[in-house]
Amino acid sequence: MTVTLLKTPIVYPYTDGKPMAESDFARDYLFYGVDVLQYHFRNQKNIYVSGNLFIYYLQNVPDAVVAPDVFLVKGVSNKKRLSYKVWEEGGLTPDWVLEVTSASTRNTDEEEKPRKYAQMGA
């Protein structure tokens, strides 16, 4: 008798199901940052600009995730994505990250997220 174990596929969600909890001011800065950078790099097909998108930085570890307010990666296609998986992008992590902070997100933006960015090599 042969027993075959089926591997459960690892799920990398592209949303956490929560609405973006930003003030009008923070949201406007976030959108402006993405829009300006996308416009500036519009003719460069190997620069990807996005924001508020899940970046998975360790394969097979879906909890190793961060969502920068605005980020830029050089050397990858500027195609649309549901999420950014570092191992599917040649190991390239963001070259630049911007966090728009507020009183309610300050601790996460100034302490937790920088640790994650350092861990993934950004």
pTM metric for this prediction: 0.85
Angle in degrees, CA 110, 66, 94, rounded to 5: 90
Whether 26 and 102 have beta carbons less than 8 Å apart is answered as: yes
Tens digit of pLDDT for each residue in 59-76? Answer: 999 999 999 999 999 999
pLDDT in tens, 2-54: 766 667 888 888 887 676 666 788 888 899 999 999 999 999 999 999 999 99
C-beta of residue 86 within 8 angstroms of C-beta of residue 112 = no
